[in-house]
Amino acid sequence: MSVVTNTTTIGAIEAPSRRNTELAMLAFAVIIPVLAYLNVGLAINDEVPSGMIGYGLGIGLLAGVGHLVVRKFAPYADPLLLPLATLLNGLGLVLIWRLDQSPRLIDRANRIFGSFTPDAPKQLLYSAIGIALFVAVLLLLKDHRILQRYTYISMAVALVLLIMPVFFPAVNGAKIWVSIGPFNVQPGEFAKIIIAIFFSGYLMVKRDALALASRRVMGLYLPRGRDLGPILAVWAMSILILVFETDLGTSLLFFGLFVIMLYVATERTSWIVFGLVMSAAGAVGVATFEPHVQQRVDFWLNPFAQSTWEQSDQIGQALMSFGAGGTLGTGLGQGNSDLIGFAANSDFILSTVGEEFGLAGTMAFLLIYGLIVERGVRTALAARDPFGKLLAIGLSGAFAIQVFVVAGGVMGLIPLTGMTMPFVAAGGSSVIANWALIGILIRISDTARRPAPAPAPSPDAEMTQVVRP
Amino acid sequence: MSELTLTVMRLGFLAVLWLFVIVAVQVIRSDLFGTRVTQRGSRRNADARPPQGAARQTAAPPAQRSQGGRQRRGAPTKLVVSEGILTGTTVALQGQTITLGRAHDSTIVLDDDYASSRHARIYPDRDGQWIVEDLGSTNGTYLDRTRLTTPTPIPPGAPIRIGKTVIELRK
């Protein structure tokens, strides 16, 4: 007869570094875009694309450099952030390359600009710069708490970055660009990271005043008037961005980011209510007298109106492309999302995903974005210092809002705004800034997941008092 | 390129994309649980340990007894702290060893000046009877009124006193 005593031991998992998991996922994340590249070549040109080896090696090399740097300088970092971002970047490159092959877009470019330059090589270069910045963040930022020292400097820098585009000519109705020589930079993309640093530094100091000094009125905690100051200032700033730069997306991003971080810092639902009411009031107010914003709302409500079709055709075509995709999509290289014309490979790139990958693929895409945000929030939960918590929440919140604003705009859920799908859309600023964002998140997660130093040996036994009978 | 090849590639690509998402979620899943639960069976007889499934299938009295006393009729199911700072704390008895003391890795961490870091442990013996054993504590462990010197079976409802803390086993 056998006798077994089951003993259950519950112990903390010794923090594994998970670098090998990351490497495996990274290899997976490089293979998927290479397959997609092959698929596009076979579908469009009926042959294995000649650039496949070079392309695969290029993205593999970038991913490999990223992985080695993480392995060396952030050994306990989250294993998923880098592979997820690499996959999105790689698929973005494939989609841009696929749209470069479109005869319609080549014709259009030749007709309007007189020449056609493919965007995919440029995007690969931007990705390389992005990875370089990612590496630089990991090398230079040994501890994210250093950023805390630059709270107010980063506020000033963010304001300058946000105001700069006012002095440059508008591109396609929105002043979000700064042109320096041949380069067009979207400072808003970088400002989103810097402003998250300011908010976390500021809220870390002020959160108790904001959370505790409040009166309860009708089930809502109303903060004191003087504590409302900063939220009013940020609100005013985002409204000013909306008015002077006619950039709905950026203003939504900043205000949303501030409300999210206020809520996380203070745990007061009233901030959410305030934020929603104020942003709704601001948006409606601006929309009534700013013609550009009003036009965007009109296009959103009636994308197929005959009278404005000349201008709203992009939105209409995007909606049609989602419909044409159906559940499983038309297959890579076989859709007609190039009918969108202008900005088909930047702001509207999600409609190519929608048409050629279908609902199934779009869901997977959005899930990958969701996973990045989830890892960010998880990092915030695990972080041991309040600044790191707020910064991780802020960065992942900004990322989430950006995805929502772009995807919602392209799908017709909210008025379209000029923002780019992180990592996927063509555009240097977006890719570079988002790689820096992932770099900071990886730095925070490395600090958060690093095993805590062993507690000082407690002299328990010595301290036990002896009962004197 | 034939229609069939393209269709296969299209569906294959979607499958691979979703596979990536699922694998990523699996990685998260392994990350989600901060604690690891290890089932360890210690072999008491020369006889080999039966696989868990086999023990459940036969459901014979010996196999039942091997489950650490969980199935014994009238066996206590929880440990309740009835006096001291932790009053009201309960721990389900599921065949595991419960350690008591001031050490951080104890099952019940006693914040009590009169408790030692590894004070006592409570464990089921091979018949499922719960045993309390003093681990060489400074002030001793008391079952009812008697100071323990050897591992002693716990009668139901008997108070075990450790420093200022009193625990009981209940059904």
pLDDT, tens digit, for every residue of B40-98?
554 444 444 444 444 343 333 443 344 444 445 667 888 888 888 888 888 888 878 88
A·B CB contacts under 8 A: 184
Out of B23, B34, B35, name the one closest to residue A25 (CB): B23
User: Does residue A103 sit within a domain?
Assistant: yes
Out of B21, B40, B66, name the one closest to residue A364 (CB): B21
The dihedrals phi and psi of A215, each to the nearest 5 degrees, come to -105, 150
CB contact residues (below 8 A), chain B span 24-63, against chain A: 24-25, 27-28, 31, 33-45, 47-50, 55, 62
The CA-CA-CA angle for residues A425, A426, A428, to 5°, reads: 115
Element (H, E) at A11: strand A4-12
Lowest-pLDDT range of A2-6, A49-53, A163-167: A2-6
Q: What is the DSSP string of chain B?
A: --HHHHHHHHHHHHHHHHHHHHHHHHHHHHHH-SEEEEEEEEE-SSSPPPPHHHHHHH--HHHHHTTTTTTSTT---EEEEEESTTTT-EEE-SS--EEEESSTTSSEE---TTS-SS-EEEEE-TTS-EEEEE-S-SS-EEETTEEPSS-EEPPTT--EEETTEEEEEE-
**Amino acid A469: pLDDT:** 64
Place A435 in a pLDDT band, splitting at 50, 70 and 90.
very high
Name the residue range of residue A49's domain: 16-453
Helix (H, G, I), strand (E, B) or coil at A466: coil
A80·B28 Cβ contact <8 A:
yes
pLDDT, tens digit, for every residue of A343-362?
778 889 999 999 999 999 99
Task: Looking at A248-348, list the stretches that DSSP marks H as alpha helix, in order from N- to C-terminal side.
Answer: 248-266, 269-289, 291-301, 309-325
pLDDT, tens digit, for every residue of A174-187?
677 777 766 778 88
Distance CA A131, CA A120 (A): 16
**Amino acid A9: pLDDT:** 55
Paired with B167 in beta bridges are B81, B160
CB-based burial, B71-109: b 16+ in 10 Å, e otherwise: eeeebbeebbbeebebeeeeeebebbebbbbbbeebebb
According to DSSP, residue A455 is labeled P
User: Does residue A279 sit within a domain?
Assistant: yes
Place A457 in a pLDDT band, splitting at 50, 70 and 90.
low
Nearest CA in chain A to B12: A35
8 A C-beta contact, residue A128 and residue A382 = no
The dihedrals phi and psi of B39, each to the nearest 5 degrees, come to -90, 120
Out of A7, A80, A455, name the one closest to residue B96 (CB): A7
What interhelical angle do A291-301 and A269-289 show, nearest 10? 100
Is the model's pLDDT at A247 over the cut of 80? Answer: no
Residues of B in contact with A35 (CB under 8 A): 12-13, 16
Residues of B in contact with A84 (CB under 8 A): 24
pLDDT, tens digit, for every residue of B111-133?
888 888 889 988 888 888 888 99
Q: B153 to chain A nearest CA, in Å?
A: 16
Distance CA A122, CA A344 (A): 16
Strongest mean pLDDT among A150-154, A430-434, B81-85:
A430-434
Output the CA–CA distances (angstroms, integers) from residue A313 to A304, A317, A325, in the order listed. 7, 6, 18
| Tokens 């019940």, located at residue | B108
Out of A12, A35, A87, name the one closest to residue B35 (CB): A12
User: Does residue A34 sit within a domain?
Assistant: yes
Residues of B in contact with A3 (CB under 8 A): 44-45, 47, 62, 65-66, 126
Residue A13 backbone class (left: φ over 0; alpha: ψ -120 to 50; beta: rest): beta
- 3-state class percentages of chain A: helix first, strand second, coil last, to nearest 5: 70, 5, 25
8 A C-beta contact, residue A175 and residue A168 = yes
Nearest CA in chain A to B51: A4
Strongest mean pLDDT among A8-22, A29-43, A253-267, B147-161:
A29-43
Nearest CA in chain A to B119: A461
> Does residue A130 belong to the interface with chain B, where contact is any CB pair within 8 Å?
no
**Amino acid B72: pLDDT:** 54
> Does residue A331 belong to the interface with chain B, where contact is any CB pair within 8 Å?
yes
User: Does residue A468 sit within a domain?
Assistant: no
What are the structure tokens assigned to A160, written together? 């300058």
Distance CA A257, CA A402 (A): 10
Choose from B3, B20, B122 for mutation: most chain A CBs within 10 A.
B20
> Does residue A332 belong to the interface with chain B, where contact is any CB pair within 8 Å?
yes
pLDDT, tens digit, for every residue of A220-233?
666 677 766 766 77
Residues of A in contact with B47 (CB under 8 A): 1-3
Q: What is the DSSP string of A135-174?
A: HHHHHH-S-GGGGGGGHHHHHHHHHHHHHGGGGS--BTTB
User: Does residue A3 sit within a domain?
Assistant: no
User: Does residue A2 sit within a domain?
Assistant: no
Beta-carbon contacts of residue A405 (< 8 Å; ≥ 6 apart): A249, A252, A253, A414, A417, A419
Choose from B27, B116, B131 for mutation: most chain A CBs within 10 A.
B27
A13·B35 Cβ contact <8 A:
yes
Place A459 in a pLDDT band, splitting at 50, 70 and 90.
low
Distance CA B75, CA A180 (A): 80
Enter the pTM of the model: 0.75
> Does residue A36 belong to the interface with chain B, where contact is any CB pair within 8 Å?
yes
User: Does residue A223 sit within a domain?
Assistant: yes
**Tally of domains within chain A:** 1
> Does residue A327 belong to the interface with chain B, where contact is any CB pair within 8 Å?
no
